[in-house]
Structure 1
Amino acid sequence: MKKLLLLFGALALTLASCSSDDNSSDSVLLKKVILTGEGGKTTVNYTYDGNKIVSIVDDTKEINMHYTYTGDLITKLEFRLPDGSVEQTNTYTYGTDGKLATFLRVELDDDQLRGHKEVYTYNADGTISVKLYSGDDKTQTLESDTSIIKFVNGEVSEITSTNSPDHKYTYDSKNNAAKNVLGLDKIAFVDGEGVGVFHNELSDISEGETWSTYTYTYNADGYPQTSVDDTEGLHYTSEYFY
């Protein structure tokens, strides 16, 4: 399910309009992506309630993500199998200031539940300290890790961890349609990786090696019209529709 999160980062968080009935950049919301890879073409459909994301589902339901809000905050994300059963649940809790306090991922792996939890502390210098825990429901083992998240212009610029891969990110200066989707900016740094929200990610360098690169063509309003994504040896091209 981690690869689906990466796909969401590559698609849903770097999106913009090929065509729109409204020229205002504040109203841009993605409706469809045609993704072309080694396996052929896949159509990914996005649904909303106003500017709240409801679901991201492809034509085979391999990508099958469903969101729950409490007020204007995303509090749950479910990854479902084609038969509708839930394979993974992400849960998000917030402090009274509206900032993300904890993230919990629970997934079914070989009939065993595995969990990963992150607890966030917001520092005076603008960084976030993260305490990470993981374990499973049978052996009940617990492993811990710590990390520091840095930001530049509101985007995650670097994540350094004691026991997990480090990441450094670069972005363009163009528009990212995710800025109009409520709540996505609050969770753009969970699970040890960052995704662009206000601008579009150009590269992700992990442990000194380039993990992902992205190139774009843009429409007249400065949003990506097409993209080419190279992530962990996988090559995708995408067309975006609103």
Structure 2
Amino acid sequence: MKKNLLCLFSALLVLVSCSSDVTREDEIIDDIPTPVGQILLTKMIEKNAKGITRTIINTYAGNKIVSQVYNNTKEGIYYTYTGDLITKMEFKLADGTVEQINTYKYDGNKKLIEFFRTQPGQEDWDTKDIFVYNADGTVSVYDEDGFKNSTITFLNGEVSEVVSENSPNFKYTYDTKNNPFKNVLGMDKIAFIDGEGNGVLHNIISETSSFGDETTTTTSKITYNADGYPVKSFDNFEDAGTTTEYFY
């Protein structure tokens, strides 16, 4: 299945640990109930073509995601909200050092207007995207110097196409079932960063990437539960073939 915020899976491979402060936050999280009737993804088990397995555990405060940790450790991504909007994601290393910080800014209508990524100590690699909402429903993405990077087209609330200036273009098709993260508060607001789309309500089942004369289409095969959420998927979007199991 297409990478999902998980923001993001290629960056996750470098994560390692989190501080004891997060442990105390985890203890508080248990006191906040999940909203009635909302299904939340609690665990994923990924196995790639090389046979390497990774378990991802999601922790929530109500329907706000707090962390995604790996292989029964505190390695993972940690989220910060302002109100009902995700405003920061921190990627931490084993010694507590923050490897990467993603920050998100919104306008008064809760639309994402700026995405900023920094790697402390490697500021030369910092990136900023500025989002402009057009009258025709598309979103134009500019860098901090005002150069237009891409234009994003939406269909039924999902990213249908991304046309980029100097990067691959993408087209997507979706199923009619439920995305595992559809009930995570604020996740839909950041589902089109980094020049690619991620499912918001539904799941991407095909992605066509084109750059110059080269065009590649990759697909995902998904098995669903009685509620219409994925329980197993096989895709070749990121690796030579990854199988993922989903638990709620």
Question: Quick one: which amino acid aligns to residue 168 of structure 1?
Answer: K
Residue of structure 1 aligned with 2:80, choices 60, 68, 72: 68
For 1:188-213, what per-residue CA distance to the aligned partner results, in whole angstroms no more than 9, with x for missing partners?
00111110010001122211533642
Aligned mates of 1:116, 1:183 — CA distance in 2: 22
* Superposition deviation, residue 61 in structure 1: 5.4
Q: Secondary structure at the match of 1:185?
A: helix
Kindly tell me the number of residue pairs found equivalent between the two proteins. 216
Give 3-state SS (helix, strand or coil) of 2:207's partner: strand
Q: Percent identity?
A: 52
The verdict on how the C-alpha distance between 1:211 and 1:58 changes in structure 2, with shifts beyond 3 A counting, is farther
Match of 1:217 in 2: 223
| CA distance in structure 2 between the aligned counterparts of 1:238 and 1:8, rounded to whole angstroms | 15
Q: Secondary structure at the match of 1:151?
A: strand
Contact map agreement 1:201 1:214 (CA 8 A) in 2? yes
Deviates more, 1:204-213 or 1:161-170: 204-213
Q: Counterpart in 2 of 1:7? A: 9
- d(CA) in 2 for partners of 1:222, 1:78: 31
Aligned with 2:198 (options 195, 209, 215): 195
Counting only pairs closer than 5 Å after superposition, residues 55-204 of structure 1 correspond to structure 2 as: 55-59=67-71, 64-108=76-120, 112-113=122-123, 114-133=125-144, 144-204=147-207
| Partners of 1:87 and 1:167 in 2: CA distance | 29
Task: Check the 8 A contact 1:72/1:182 in 2, yes or no.
Answer: yes
- The one-letter amino acid paired with 2:216 is T
Give the root-mean-square deviation of aligned CA atoms: 2.5
In structure 2, the residue matched to 1:32 is: 43
User: Deviation per CA, 1:125-152, whole angstroms, max 9, x where unpaired?
Assistant: 111111124xxxxxxxx79442110001
The 1:4/1:172 distance shift into structure 2, 3 A limit, reads: closer
2:232 partner amino acid? T
Match in the other structure for 1:51: 63
Please tell me the residue identity of whatever aligns with 1:96.
Answer: G
- 8 Å Cα contact 1:62-1:81 kept in structure 2: no
Distance 1:164 1:8, change over 3 A: closer
Rate the CA distance shift 1:232–1:240 in 2: closer, same or farther, 3 A. Answer: closer
Residues 64 and 36 of structure 1: CA distance in aligned 2, closer, same or farther (over 3 Å): same
Once the 2 structures are TM-superposed, how far is the Cα of residue 112 of structure 1 from its aligned partner? 2.5
Report how far residue 7 of structure 1 moved.
2.6
CA distance in 2, matches of 1:154, 1:178: 15
Q: Secondary structure at the match of 2:236?
A: strand
Whole-angstrom distance in 2 between the partners of 1:62 and 1:70: 23
In the TM superposition, residue 84 of structure 1 has moved relative to its aligned partner by 2.4
Deviation at 1:165, TM superposition (A): 1.7
Q: Per-residue deviation at 1:40? A: 2.5
Following superposition, the deviation at residue 120 of structure 1 comes to 1.0
Q: TM-score, normalised by structure 2?
A: 0.79
CA distance 1:86–1:121, shift in 2 (3 Å):
same
Moved more, 188-197 or 79-88: 79-88
The answer to whether the Cα contact below 8 Å between 1:175 and 1:223 also exists between their aligned partners in 2 is yes
The code of the aligned residue for 2:126 comes to G
Counterpart for residue 29 of structure 2: none
Q: Give me the TM-score of the superposition, normalised by structure 1.
A: 0.81
Identify if the C-alpha distance between structure 1 residues 216 and 25 changes in structure 2 by more than 3 Å, giving closer, same or farther: farther
